[in-house]
Amino acid sequence: MNWLCVLAGAAIGAPLRYLTDRGMRARFGAAFPWGTFAVNVAGSFVLGVVTGVAGAASPHTQLFLGTGLCGALTTYSTFGYETSLLAEGRMPFAAVANVVGSVAAGLGAAFLGVTCAEALWG
Amino acid sequence: MTDLRKPPDVRRVLTVVAVGGAAGAAARYGASLLWPDAPGTFPWTTFGVNAVGCALMGVLMVLITPARTTPVHPLVRPFLATGVLGGFTTFSTYAVDSERLLDGGRVRTGLMYLALTPLTALAAVWAATVLTRRAVARRREAGGR
């Protein structure tokens, strides 16, 4: 059952990441990886909420939403690869901005998610 | 025969991304069961998963995107890169684990994890890309493809 929760969550999270990336590319172009940035920040917020509610969510819900959905919605490999593309494309500023921006925004989103959850359910 | 130049149908792409993502996430979950990260300590398992996933991404993207005479199937990239490796690696666990460490007073461990993960990830992508490019070039010179 635990495995099923992870598989089901990931089977939703990964296509959601693909669709977000497509949508962001269509809207903002492909010069900067806004799609990956958006899913990583959004996923960090949701996982922050899931972590913050801790006791209020069943272990299965945590595996489905946290390990499965948020885990597959967000990605480190594409983030790393896209950053290397920016660096190779002689856009060092954009590469650094992508790393610093993603890390700062992801950390902030995680903090916000935990704080919101603790305020609402804590 | 699949026309390799035609972009594949979106529903088929979404299906392979979902299947690949589930497989990648299952591998990550398996790793977390085999080597669980204790709260308050450096999350080595997630760190390793992300580093390995980035290295594999570097290898894969060289193998499927250079000027090849035979194009790869259009579903290979969505399945392996977006699906499997995207589902295997995770940014959200990295961000929340960092937040938990910092919020829990483990400031040094938290800051180290926060900085070391992206640096290692980028080094892994870069090293894998360079080494794979070299291997591919050597194979071409040796009369491969």
Predicted confidence at residue A90, as pLDDT, reads: 87
User: In Å, how far are A42, B45, B92, B126 from A87, measured between CA atoms?
Assistant: 25, 28, 24, 10
pLDDT number for residue B144: 56
Task: List pLDDT tens digits, range A60-116.
Answer: 999 999 999 999 999 999 999 999 999 999 899 999 999 999 999 999 999 999 999
Report the Cα B95 to chain-centroid distance in Å.
17
pLDDT at A75: 98
DSSP-derived letter for residue A89 is T
- Whether B5 maps to a domain, the answer reads no
Query: What are the b/e assignments for B46-59, b being 16+ CB within 10 Å?
Result: bbebbbbbbbbbbb
Whether B74 is covered by a domain: the verdict is: yes
**A107·B114 Cβ contact <8 A:** yes
B77: in domain: yes
Could you tell me the residue range of the domain that residue B50 belongs to? 11-141
pLDDT for residue B140: 84
Our CA-based measurement puts residue B128 at a distance from the nearest CA of chain A, in whole angstroms, of: 11
Mean pLDDT estimate for chain B: 92
Rounded to whole angstroms, what are the CA distances from A114 to A13, A103, A107, B65?
20, 17, 11, 40
Domain presence at residue B64? yes
B2 domain residue, yes or no: no
What is the rounded distance in angstroms from the CA atom of residue B137 to the CA atom of residue B118? 28
pLDDT digits (tens, 9 = 90+) for A32-71: 999 999 999 999 999 999 999 987 889 999 999 999 999 9
Would residue B4 count as lying in a domain?
A: no
* B65, part of any domain: yes
Residue among B56, B96, B118 whose CB faces A47 most closely: B96
In angstroms, the CA B17 to CA B4 distance is: 18
- Measured CA angle at A84 (ends A83, A86), to 5 deg: 65
Which residue in A has a C-alpha nearest to residue B78's C-alpha? A18
Question: What would the pLDDT profile of B64-113 be if each residue is shown by its tens digit?
Answer: 976 665 678 999 999 999 999 999 999 999 999 999 999 999 999 999 99
Query: Nearest by CB to A14, which of B54, B87, B92?
Result: B87
Does pLDDT of B145 surpass 60? Answer: no
Which residue in this structure is represented by tokens 């969550």? A9
pLDDT-based confidence at residue B2 (cuts at 50, 70, 90):
low
Q: How far apart are CA A115 and CA A110, in angstroms?
A: 9
pLDDT-derived band at B5, boundaries 50, 70, 90? low
- φ/ψ of residue B73, rounded to 5: -60, 135
Chain B segment 73-132 residues within 8 A of A by beta carbon are: 78, 81-83, 85-96, 98-100, 102-103, 114, 117-118, 121-122, 124-126, 129
Q: Given a cut of 60, is residue B36 above it in pLDDT? A: yes
Q: Is B33 exposed, middle or buried (0-12, 13-18, 19+ CB in 10 A)?
A: exposed
pLDDT at residue A10 tops 70: yes
Contacts of B104 (CB under 8 A, 6+ apart): B39, B40
**In angstroms, rounded to a whole number, what is the distance separating the alpha carbons of residues B131 and A12?**
34
- Give B40-50 pLDDT, tens digit per residue: 999 999 999 99
Confidence of residue B3 (pLDDT cuts 50, 70, 90): low
Mutation site, B79, B91, B107, B114, interface A, largest A CB count within 10 A: B91
Residue partners of B6: CB distance under 8 A and separation at least 6:
B74
Number of residues that this document lists for chain B? 145
**Do the domain assignments include residue B89?**
yes
The domain total for chain B is 1
Distance from CA of B143 to the nearest CA of A (A): 28
pLDDT(B1) > 70: no
- pLDDT, residue B68, reads 60
